[in-house]
Amino acid sequence: MNLKVWPISAHFVRSLHNLAPFAEIAGKFNFDKPTHTIREINKDHNRVGQSTVILNGWIDRPPKKLSSKLVFACLRDTKSDYAQLICKDQETAEKLASRKPEDVVSVVGTVQPKKSKDGQPETWELVLKDLKVLNSADIQTVQLNSLKHTTGQFPQEFRYLQLRQPYYQRSLRKRAQIAAVARRVLDANEFVEIETPLLFKSTPEGADEFLVPTRKQGQFYALPQSPQQYKQLLMASGFDRYYQLAKCFRDEDLRADRQPEFTQIDLEMSFAKKEDVMHTVETVIKAIFKETRQADLFTPSEDMSSLVLSGEKPFKRLSYREAMHYYGIDKPDLRSNLRFKLLNEFYDSQGSVQGVVLPGAANLDGIDQLISSHEYSNRRPYIAKIKSMNDLTTWHSASPFVFKGNINELNESLGLQVGDVVALGDLVYPDKERHRHVYENPTPLGKFRQLAIQHFPDLWRYDTGQSTNDTFAACWVTNFPLFSPTEDPLSKGKEYPVYLKDTYEATHHPFTMFDLTQGVTPSLDNVLDVEGEHYDLVINGVEVGGGSQRIHDAQVQRYVLKEILKVHNAEELFGHLLKALDSGCPPHAGFAVGFDRLCSMIVGSSNIRDVVAFPKTQAGTDPVVGSPSRVAQDTLDNYHIQCKDV
């Protein structure tokens, strides 16, 4: 390919006096396409023979010079595959020896078989005939070369350098594959992909919003926390099956599994009940794990005594009450066989007392990490090591709970033996008389179980024939309380939560229908008794997604907003939705899969940053581009905004 040379003026020539010569610049843009990929050659290098091969990529590490005519180097291509380069003539060897890590090159050569040691299959190397430099890495890039295989140490302002590495290349390509599978399955089930607006209005949905100013004074858009209201409007519009890979935004504290902007596989179905949605979600999730991780999902057996392959069977369902009572959290990791016992017959308590035993844990290295008080945000469960027969008969005496039973019967109920660790925790009910629901999540003992699984992942688990990392245990959690009492902000950090009187919030969002099988409608008299038609999908202790049957009756929706949640300006905030419900909106239900969390689980990472190209830091910044950034006051004046120094 020849570059056409256009005539240029003398003024233009003078303005470029600091540029390299034209031929040098043109050489960086005039390059040949690769004849092969490294992966293609790896499959059968003998078939390539002595034909000329062109490869493009990066110098992966500093070349190794053995003599003036013999230099070795490693090329990394865009598929994150590696090829050894070897030069045997002095001119090309000098070119290669002068290269630095991350220089972009196009190389020409022939494939030469290379004998492997220790009986390994024969490999190959590329004998160079020519090398063209398409771009040189600067000194800062070279200095960062030693950190490119690290994670926490790599400066995030150079994320694009980190993304060149095989782990991140594989992770983002896997993300694309997962999205493709989800789309294919939903398309095959006659779902329609519809994009909803990102410029929404400010409505209370739980987390803080990102606001977008406009040139109209006092008028703001809000970025959507989810497409919830738009997708319900689509159901009112006559679409019976909708989905999209939706961008969502929440201005909240960040952690390993949370970003201010995130993606979810969002879907909604009209003339559908929760059973229809749950079946669809299971179909999508099973296909994703099968095709992108080559893994089948497990689910608990009917009696919870083992894990079984789900196959065509639906995932096991746990009620919220069961999850909190037996696992102390609404997203239990069911790879572990640790299950709590309720011990109310042995203890006097205003709530309930739970107990769990870690068999054989008393002398384990690292067991004290579960006992350390800094691991618990409020109060620590009572934990005892049973190292002797004396411990077995006296361990209960130091617990903070009033014991009223027989210690031998308690030990027998727990299955406690010498060499074990036992832990007790209490459940706190806002309604102490009815003991209906627990809102402290996780409970102290639930946190203890999480720590036990985290620090000892291969202990106290069901035998599936797979390693812990290759076992995926799925279940549904259902029958959540529809409303939750509002916790007093002043009680944060205290030993026990304190709830505000007669003040409630939607446990998930205010558009969830109540459970009709209870035979009651919500009122201020029974608000904490009413359960919602919400369902969460939990895999390995991660809430992969959640959904619900929606309220499609405008009268019921107005009642929930105004009478229970005390949203006094409900018409102003949600009038668009209420009018749509009044227009003859069909029954509908939906779900949203946390796409980033799902992707990180499939690639085997606990941090969603690994599957997001340019994630924000824990401070909510993007060091690559320097956002958020300050804006000049004359620009802010167009939006009627004035910044004040605090």
CATH of the domain at 354: 3.30.1360
* Angstrom distance (rounded) from CA 338 to CA 223: 41
Q: For residue 370, report the phi and psi dihedrals to the nearest 5 degrees.
A: -80, -20
Chain segment 521-541, per-residue pLDDT in tens? 999 999 999 999 999 999 999
| Residue with tokens 């009112």, as numbered in its chain | 236
pLDDT for 433? 66
Distances (CA, A) of 477 to 369, 407, 451: 29, 34, 21
Share of residues in the chain with pLDDT > 70 (%) = 96
Report if residue 284 sits inside a domain.
no
Instruction: Tell whether 72 is covered by a domain.
Output: yes
* Cβ(527)–Cβ(483) below 8 Å: yes
Question: Does 32 share its domain with 128?
Answer: yes
Residue 14: the pLDDT is 45
Residue 560 has pLDDT above 50, yes or no: yes
The reply to whether omega before 227 is within 30° of 0 (cis) is no
One domain, residues 140 and 28:
yes
Residues 103, 190, single domain; the answer is no
CATH number of the CATH domain containing 225 = 3.30.930.10
191 plus 126 within the same structural domain? no
Final residue in a domain of this structure, among 409, 444, 460:
460
Name which of 22-26, 74-78, 245-249 the model is least confident about: 22-26
170 shares a domain with 141: no
Q: Which of 158, 145, 126 is nearest to 61 (CA)?
A: 145
Residue 349: per-residue pLDDT = 82
Residue 55 contacts residue 36 (beta carbons within 8 Å): yes
In a domain, 288, yes or no: no
Q: Which residues contact 527 (CB under 8 A, 6 or more apart)?
A: 483, 504, 564
What is the average per-residue pLDDT within 38-44? 95
**pLDDT exceeds cutoff 70 at 569:** yes
Residue 603 — pLDDT band, cuts 50, 70, 90? very high
Tokens of 241: 């099956």
Query: Is the pLDDT assigned to residue 317 strictly greater than 90?
Result: yes
Question: What domain range includes position 89?
Answer: 22-146
Greatest C-alpha distance within the chain: 101
206 confidence band (pLDDT: 50, 70, 90): low
Q: CATH no. for residue 40?
A: 2.40.50.140
Full-model pTM: 0.93
| pLDDT for residue 35 is more than 50 | yes
Separation CA 263–CA 642 (nearest Å):
32
Residue 132 sits in the same domain as residue 211: no
Within-domain flag for 154? no
Position 375 pLDDT exceeds 80 = yes
User: Which of 425, 460, 495 delimits the end of a domain?
Assistant: 460
Residues 265 and 224 reside in one and the same domain: yes
Check whether residue 136 and residue 177 sit in a common domain: no
Considering only CA atoms, which of 257, 331, 155 is closest in space to residue 607? 257
Report the pLDDT averaged over residues 341-347: 95
Could you tell me if 26 and 135 lie in one domain? yes
Is 24 a residue whose pLDDT tops 50?
Answer: yes
Q: Assess whether pLDDT exceeds 50 at residue 45.
A: yes
Residue 278 domain flag? no
CA distance 378 to 485: 18
Is 2 within the bounds of a domain? no
Closest Cα partner for 149 from 164, 160, 138?
A: 164
What's the whole-number average pLDDT of the chain? Answer: 93
Q: Tell me, yes or no, whether 572 lies in a domain.
A: no
Query: Are residues 43 and 117 both part of a single domain?
Result: yes
Which run of H or E residues covers position 161? helix 159-162
One domain for residues 142 and 189 = no
Domain count for the chain:
3
What pLDDT score does 492 carry? 81
Tell which of 438, 460, 482 closes a domain: 460
| Cα–Cα distance for residue pair 355/440, rounded to 1 Å | 17
Task: Please check whether residue 158 lies inside any domain of the structure.
Answer: no
Helix (H) or strand (E) holding 596: helix 595-603
Q: Are 111 and 183 in a shared domain?
A: no
Q: Is the pLDDT of residue 207 over 80?
A: no
